[in-house]
Amino acid sequence: MFLTDLAGTGLVLTAPTPSDIDRIAKCCTDPAIGRWTTMPVPYTRSDAEAFVRKVVPVGWADRSPTWAVRRTAAGAVLGMIGLGARDSSAAEVGFWLAPEARGEGIITRALNLVCDFGFRVDALALERIEWRAFVGNSASAEVARRVGFRFEGTARSGGLQRGTRRDMWVAALLPDDPREPAVGWPD
Ligand SMILES: CC(C)(COP(=O)(O)OP(=O)(O)OC[C@H]1O[C@@H](n2cnc3c(N)ncnc32)[C@H](O)[C@@H]1OP(=O)(O)O)[C@@H](O)C(=O)NCCC(=O)NCCS
């Protein structure tokens, strides 16, 4: 699919480019990113390089777009968000923010833009966007809950993190779900 920029609510989402590699490498050394994602620990510049030069283009060619989150088109990377195709009409969302960009609702706004794009019939025409997080990732759960994702349960040993199986929370958003905080999430 063609690279598509998204914009709104003070954010611009564009595909990461080679000029972002150093910044991505720095952000991804944050311990919370290592703790809550499947990204390599320690995270090196060559990990960021492989991500930008290989993972991102392959994803865009295969209905699995990734965007860097910025305040302006030329601005520094604040975080990353992407959709990974699970099948022809469902995808899983993933995201992280640099520590200094947290606490402002940035990823909540970015997730709304990405879900709009995912559901658009002239874009990915998704019928389900899934969110999964390792149990205990309350910051990520709060983001998904606020956007309207409905909690569906815990997948026991549902995820593999660097060789260790961990329980995962699972939630999903469907095209017609209200975009308002959902009930039924764990405290
Ligand atoms: C997930 C992430 C993107 C959220 O970013 P954010 O929304 O800017 O983070 P915030 O600090 O604003 O947290 C969002 C909400 O969760 C709450 N929260 C944060 N940490 C929490 C915790 N440990 N327990 C309970 N609530 C928590 C915050 O209080 C905030 O609510 P508030 O705005 O009412 O104060 C960011 O924490 C991150 O990059 N984490 C590491 C990578 C990651 O976990 N990615 C998702 C994998 S599924």
pLDDT in tens, 67-116: 999 999 999 999 999 999 999 999 999 999 999 999 999 999 999 999 99
Residue having the nearest C-alpha atom to atom 21 of ligand 1: 139
Return the best residue to mutate from 27, 81, 93, 140 for the ligand 1 pocket (most ligand atoms within 8 A of CB): 140
96 close to ligand 1 (CB < 6 Angstrom) = yes
Mean pLDDT of 2-26: 96
- Alpha carbon distances (Å) from 32 to 37, 68, 114, 118, 173: 8, 18, 23, 27, 25
pLDDT in tens, 107-157: 999 999 999 999 999 999 999 999 999 999 999 999 999 999 999 999 999
pLDDT at 10 over 90: yes
Cα–Cα distance, 20 to 24 (Å, whole number): 6
pLDDT reported for residue 145: 98
All domains of the chain in start order, with CATH: 6-131 (3.40.630.30)
pTM of the model: 0.95
Cα–Cα distance, 152 to 15 (Å, whole number): 30
161 close to ligand 1 (CB < 6 Angstrom) = no
pLDDT reported for residue 187: 83
Burial group, residue 90, by CB count within 10 angstroms (0-12, 13-18, 19+): middle
100 close to ligand 1 (CB < 6 Angstrom) = no
pLDDT reported for residue 1: 78
pLDDT reported for residue 11: 98
Cα–Cα distance, 177 to 118 (Å, whole number): 14
Tell me the DSSP string of 48-115: HHHIIIIIHHHHHTTT--EEEEESSTTSPP-EEEEEEEEETTEEEEEEEE-GGGTTSSHHHHHHHHHH
